Amino acid sequence: MPMIHILDPHVADMIAAGEVVERPASVIKELTENAFDAGAKNITIELRGGGATYIRVTDDGCGMSPEDAGVAFLRHATSKLRDEHGLESIATMGFRGEALAAISAVSRVELTTRRRGDEAGTRVLLEAGEIRDMLPAGCPEGTTMIVRDLFYNTPARLKFLKSDRSEAAACVLTALRCALGRPEVSVRCIRDGQEEFFSPGDGRIESCVYALLGREAASKLLLCSGENGGVKVTGYASSPSAGRGNRREQYFYCNGRFIKSALLQAALEQANKNTLLVGRYPACVLYLDMSCAAVDVNVHPAKTEVKFSDEKTVFDAVYYAVLSALSGEGRSASVEPSAGTRQMAEPKKDFYKSMSAADFRANGYAAKPAAPAPRPSAPASAPVWPRPSALREGGTAAQLRLDLPVRPVREEKTPESPVNTGFSAPAGSKIVENPVQNVEKLSLPDHKIVGEAMKTYIIVELGEELLLIDKHAAHERMNFDRLRAQERHIMAQSLLVPVTVRPAAEDAELIEQNGELLGELGFEIEPFGERDYIVRAVPADMDAGEIAPALEEICEKLRRGKSLGEQQVWDEILHTVACKAAIKAGWDTTEAELERIVEEVLSGRVKYCPHGRPVSVTLSRKDLDKMFKRIV
72 binds, among Mg ion, ligand ADP, none (CB under 5 to 8 A by kind): ligand ADP
Candidate segments 33-41, 259-267, 332-340, 560-568, binder of ligand ADP by CB under 6 A: 33-41
- Asked whether position 96 contacts ligand ADP by CB under 6 A, the answer is yes
- Asked whether position 143 contacts ligand ADP by CB under 6 A, the answer is yes
Quote the CA–CA distance of 82 and 13 in Å, as a whole number: 21
Binds Mg ion (CB under 5 A): choice among 38, 99, 205, 267: 99
Q: What is the DSSP letter of 493?
A: E
Kindly provide the residue ranges of all beta strands, DSSP E only, lying in 463-511, ordered along the sequence. 465-470, 492-501
Candidate segments 10-18, 61-69, 271-279, 366-374, binder of ligand ADP by CB under 6 A: 61-69
Quote the CA–CA distance of 300 and 321 in Å, as a whole number: 27
Tell the smallest beta-carbon distance from residue 179 to Mg ion (Å): 17
Tell the smallest beta-carbon distance from residue 96 to ligand ADP (Å): 5
Quote the CA–CA distance of 197 and 159 in Å, as a whole number: 29
Binding mask 20-39 for Mg ion (x = CB under 5 A): --------------x-----
> Could you tell me if 235 and 285 are in contact, meaning their C-beta atoms sit under 8 angstroms apart?
yes
- Asked whether position 94 contacts Mg ion by CB under 5 A, the answer is yes
| Of 630, 623, 608, nearest in space to 274 by CA | 608
175 binds, among Mg ion, ligand ADP, none (CB under 5 to 8 A by kind): none
Tell the smallest beta-carbon distance from residue 172 to ligand ADP (Å): 20
- Asked whether position 126 contacts ligand ADP by CB under 6 A, the answer is no
Nearest-CB residue to ligand ADP? 94
58 binds, among Mg ion, ligand ADP, none (CB under 5 to 8 A by kind): none
Binds ligand ADP (CB under 6 A): choice among 24, 97, 395, 610: 97
Main-chain phi, psi angles of 258, to 5 degrees: -70, 130
Binds ligand ADP (CB under 6 A): choice among 62, 161, 283, 294: 62
Q: Which amino acid is at 172?
A: V
Quote the CA–CA distance of 78 and 68 in Å, as a whole number: 9
Tell the smallest beta-carbon distance from residue 117 to ligand ADP (Å): 14
Main-chain phi, psi angles of 263, to 5 degrees: -65, -50
Binds ligand ADP (CB under 6 A): choice among 16, 21, 38, 221: 38
CA distances to 68, 95, 257 from 86, in Å:
20, 9, 18
- Asked whether position 437 contacts ligand ADP by CB under 6 A, the answer is no
CB neighbour list of residue 549: distance below 8 Å, 6 or more residues apart: 580
Binds ligand ADP (CB under 6 A): choice among 42, 53, 65, 79: 79
61 binds, among ligand ADP, Mg ion, none (CB under 5 to 8 A by kind): ligand ADP
CA distances to 31, 164, 173, 223, 388 from 161, in Å:
19, 8, 16, 39, 50
CA distances to 2, 130, 277, 432, 433 from 9, in Å:
20, 12, 54, 74, 73
- Asked whether position 154 contacts ligand ADP by CB under 6 A, the answer is no
- Asked whether position 99 contacts ligand ADP by CB under 6 A, the answer is yes
What is the number of other CB atoms lying within 10 angstroms of the CB of residue 112? 21
Interacting residue ranges for Mg ion, rule: CB under 5 A: 34, 94, 99
Interacting residue ranges for ligand ADP, rule: CB under 6 A: 30, 34-35, 37-38, 59, 61-64, 68, 72, 77-80, 94-101, 143
